Chains A and B, each alone.
Chain A
Amino acid sequence: MSKTKNAPIKPHSARNHNAAPLSLIDPTSDKQATIGLEYMTYDQLEDFGNELNAVRQRVLDDLGQKDADYIRRVIKVQRASEVLGRIGIFMPFFPPAFIAGILFLGLAKILDNMEIGHNIMHGQYDWMNDPMIDASRFEWDNIAPSQDWKHGHNYIHHTYTNIHGMDRDIGYNMFRIDEDQPWYASHRFNLPLAFILMLVFEWGIMYHGVELDQYLQGKITKEDFQGRRKRAMKKIRKQVFKDYVAWPVMGIALVPFTGWWAPVAILVANVVANVIRNIWSFIIIFCGHFPAEVQTFAEEDAKNENRGQWYLRQLLGSANISGHKPFHILTGNLSHQIEHHLFPDIPARRYPEVAEDVKLLVEKYGLQYNTGRLSKQMFSVIRQLAKLAKKPSDPLKIGNSPESKALRRAKREEAARRAEEVRTPQLTS
């Protein structure tokens, strides 16, 4: 067997992988992306990218015992809250313990989904090489199966952040949250629908990951869709059985002492704990992307972007929430949404320290850094939802107006024509 081959490994060569994501490269032209040109030149964008790469590298070089201890401490607190919560809700005959139990269980689910699940599944702790903290093996206490969530969130949302038509998180196919989204009659109910989604948010995330809309539009195959549906059903069965059947059934042991209602109380406690978590994660996630100043982008402007432009899009497409340390932990440090989007794979506990570097760069290049108290960001989101629910006067912004339909058709034909142009030379050569 020959053991050598003359393919030199270039030192520091990222073989173009450190550039724009593959699918954002426009095969029909090598025109550079126009993102960020209103703030800086291409050279500056290049520097901006390099400076952020250096920030990332500094943190990666410094990872060690303290990061491992941190995530294990959070996991310990989460497990303890869960056990306390389960014990508490087993005492429906003693209301203080029962209510404390619900709150502990809610806290456990919040920690599990935010600081633990979300961050581990980004691969932030893969370097620890601990199978219990490994992104590819981790499953969270949430209806959404991790595999499909990781695809929709880590890949689609984090790569194509805030690009219309590519990031399925813009309004979740349900809300009009940005001026550039077409308006449909259902958007009149932006606010009440958002309120309902808030209560059942984990089911919404699961449904989002099934990608029925993508399947109906022919963007994913039938096999892909059926795999997603199957995984979702399996996870639903497990989660529903655990919270709404198995644990309440254990409560039957209490019936001789309390009466018939003990299992029902345990069931209700589980529902409430899940809803507490849903409300919290909904608020944090909506405040991270949907306040008014957050920018969205057109596909044409993002094609062939460089690393600096990719970073810039993440920066302008996210919003932070200010607060104290316990608040940041409860949000899974998604209160540092900007830093999270710049560096999704570095441990979340590093975001506060990274934010200092990011703010210096923001100042240096005269950029915008969207941050504010939770109340401010929430108010901004609510105002956006309300404002964009109204029917716009511009017919081009109304999704089913003849004008916008004609515009979309023209765009589709143009894209098809270009794709054909790319294919033709290959066929003839």
Chain B
Amino acid sequence: MSVRTFTEFEEGYKMGIIRKALASRPVASLTSPYTIDHYLDQIHPMLAAENVRAKVVEVIHETGDASTVVLRPNGAWKGFTPGQHVQFGVEVDGKRRVRVFSVSSSRANKNKTFSVSVKAHPDGYVSQFLHNDLKPGTIVYLSQAEGEFVLPRETPDDVLLMSGGSGITPVMSMIRTLRDSGHTGRVTFLHYARSLEDEMFSGELDEIAAALPQAQVVRIFTRKPAEGAELKGRFSIDHLKHLGIDPSETLTYVCGPAGLIASVRDTYEELGATEQLRMEYFKVPSVDLNAAEATGTITFDKATIEADNSGQTILEQAEAAGLKPEFGCRMGVCNTCVVKKNHGAVRHVISNEITANTDETIKICVSVPVGDVNVAL
């Protein structure tokens, strides 16, 4: 069994001594109540001990509506494991808009850049902005890489990577890393896209198929099947059988729309192979601004309570769910009830403004959920 670890790539990500010293407690007690970053930020935004910032190096248009953004992070970046995502914040007209994007590049990138790939969603303000307006040189605000959907430190021989649509990005990071680390085991990459035009990274997928003799790259176009394709249609167990994959013995990663994930999960459950399955949903926030009715689910993240959106303010809905969030004036004046909205869209009851930023602070006494909303309560 051949085993590869990633330690050789980790060297570049060690935090410098100066950076460590600046982020230490003695320094913090001299700058209290602020951190050293509040001061360094004034000199240059990339200069920060703890806050991750990155400069946009290049924006590559992949397809008609998908782009890859190549980023050079500052030294606060601790690196990523293939499959992880980052919170990506870009400031437009004074307002920071934050979305979560998967890292798509190989971990073995020697020139200390990494990339995220984004499919422009018709209603997605940030993805549209990235695709159309983002210029090299722009500084963006990042979180550290997050997420459990990652390759293990020691990759087993047989790996099945499956993705659908723009769910390809984290999987792409995995397969690129496997290629660059000289993985010798059998890697199967199974990707579902609507058509060839909708597929990201087509050229590189061909290259990978050629570069890795032991890798099998299979692409299925569900709407416009390629001429003479060996597989057709949506995912089914027959696809795996045809490729000669035994789910119970193959570590499997799947990322994509909910429908694909559900059918893969059901298949693995039937075969008793769920232990081998790693899943990640690719959430595309959809906001129906004209909805006459309250729709969706409100999730109180800390309390792990889910409830149907009743159309009342989030404060009222939280109270109806038995929570006791802090509140003050209940009229949007005092700012006591602010909480972080993790994702989803809300409407301000007074101004009627709709905001859909990830990781955004809202006053719950004057915010009504529009569709699915997750708040840190």
Q: Which residues of A approach B to under 8 Å, CB–CB?
A: 1-9, 11-15, 17-22, 53, 57, 60-61, 63-69, 75-76, 79-80, 83, 121-123, 126-130, 132, 134-136, 139-141, 150-151, 154-155, 158-159, 238-239, 241-242, 246-247, 250, 344-345
Can you list 27 A-B pairs, Cβ within 8 angstroms, ordered by A? Answer: A3-B295, A4-B295, A6-B293, A8-B292, A9-B294, A13-B349, A15-B349, A17-B331, A22-B330, A53-B350, A65-B93, A76-B42, A122-B335, A126-B338, A126-B361, A128-B94, A128-B95, A129-B89, A129-B96, A129-B98, A139-B33, A159-B329, A159-B333, A239-B33, A241-B32, A247-B30, A344-B334
Q: How distant is B253 from chain A, measured CB to nearest CB, in Å?
A: 26
Apart from A76-B42, A136-B338, A246-B30, 9 more pairs, CB < 8 Å: A1-B297, A1-B306, A3-B295, A15-B313, A17-B330, A60-B351, A63-B94, A79-B42, A136-B340
In the assembled complex, the Cα of A75 lies from the Cα of B42 at a distance in Å of 9
B293 near A80 with CB under 8 A, answer no
> A15 vs B340: C-alpha distance in the bound complex, in angstroms?
22
Q: Judging by beta carbons under 8 Å apart, are A80 and B308 in contact?
A: no
User: Considering only CB atoms, which chain B residue lies closest to A129 in the complex?
Assistant: B96
Give A69's nearest chain B residue, CB to CB: B94
Which of B41, B42, B89, B350 makes the CB contact (< 8 A) with A18? B350
In the complex, which residues of chain A have a beta carbon less than 8 angstroms from the beta carbon of B293? 4-9
Give the docked Cα–Cα distance between A254 and B292 (Å). 71
Q: Is the CB of A9 within 8 A of B311?
A: yes
In contact, A150 and B351 (Cβ under 8 angstroms): no
Contacts A135-B335, A246-B30: A17 and B313 contacting too (C-beta < 8 A)? yes
Interface size class of B (residues with CB under 8 A): 35 or more
Contact A65-B366, Cβ < 8 Å, known A5-B311, A15-B312? no
Q: Are A242 and B297 in contact (CB under 8 A)?
A: no
Q: Which residues of A contact B331 (CB under 8 A)?
A: 17-21, 159
Contact residue among B96, B330, B352, B363 (Cβ-Cβ distance under 8 Å from A123): B363
A2 close to B336 (CB less than 8 A): no
Q: How far is the CA of A9 from the CA of B361 in the complex (A)?
A: 22
A128 and B349 in contact (CB under 8 A), knowing A5-B293, A345-B335? no
Contact A79 B294 (CB under 8 A): no
> Footprint of A on B, CB under 8 Å?
29-30, 32-34, 37-39, 41-42, 89, 91, 93-98, 291-297, 306, 308-313, 316, 328-336, 338-340, 347, 349-353, 357, 359-361, 363, 365-366, 368, 370
- Asked if B29 and A17 sit within 8 Å, CB to CB, the answer is no
Per a CB cutoff under 8 Å, which of A4, A129, A345 touches B95?
Answer: A129
CB neighbours (8 Å) of B352 from chain A are 11-12
Q: Are A238 and B94 in contact (CB under 8 A)?
A: no
When distances are taken between beta carbons in the complex, the residues of chain B under 8 Å from A123 are 335, 338, 363
Q: Measured between C-beta atoms, what is the minimum distance from B259 to chain A in Å? A: 15
A150 to chain B, nearest CB (A): 7
Q: Give the docked Cα–Cα distance between A61 and B353 (Å).
A: 9
Give chain A residues whose Cβ lies under 8 Å from the Cβ of B335: 121-123, 126, 135-136, 150, 154, 345
Given contacts A19-B331, A126-B335, contact A14 B366 (CB under 8 A): yes
Residue of B309, B332, B340 touching A17 (CB-CB under 8 A): B332
Q: Which residues of B contact A135 (CB under 8 A)?
A: 335, 338, 361
Given contacts A14-B350, A241-B29, contact A7 B98 (CB under 8 A): no
Q: Which residue of B lies closest to A13 (CB)?
A: B349
Most buried by A among B336, B365, B368: B336
Residue of B nearest to A138 (CB): B33
- Taking CB atoms, residues of chain B closer than 8 Å to A60 are 351, 353
Contact A134 B361 (CB under 8 A): yes
Point out which of A7, A12, A75 has the most chain B C-beta atoms below 10 A from its C-beta.
A7
Alpha-carbon distance between A69 and B91 when the two chains are bound, in angstroms:
12
How far is it, in angstroms, between the C-alpha of A20 and the C-alpha of B331 when the chains are bound? Answer: 8
Do B94 and A64 touch (CB < 8 A)?
A: yes
Are A17's CB and B328's CB within 8 A?
A: no
Q: State A60–B333 Cα separation when bound (angstroms).
A: 14
Q: Which residues of A are found within 8 Å of B30, using beta-carbon distances? A: 242, 246-247, 250
Q: A6-B293, A9-B294 are in contact. Are A140 and B33 (CB under 8 A)?
A: yes
Specify which chain A residues have a CB less than 8 angstroms from the CB of B350 in the assembled complex.
14, 17-18, 53
A83 CB contacts on chain B under 8 angstroms: 39
Which residue of B has the minimal Cβ distance to A242? Answer: B32
User: Which chain B residue lies CB-closest to A241?
Assistant: B29
Alpha-carbon separation in the docked complex, A128 to B357 (Å):
11
Given known pairs A17-B366, A80-B42, A123-B363, the reply for A344 and B297 (CB within 8 Å) is no
**Central interface residue in B295, B329, B339, B347, by most chain A CB within 10 Å:** B329
- Measured in the bound complex, the distance between the Cα atoms of B97 and A66 in whole Å is 17
Chain A residue at minimal CB-CB distance from B352: A12
Known contacts A64-B93, A65-B94, A68-B94: A150-B336 contact under CB 8 Å: yes
Chain A residues near B311 (CB-CB < 8 A)? 5, 7-9
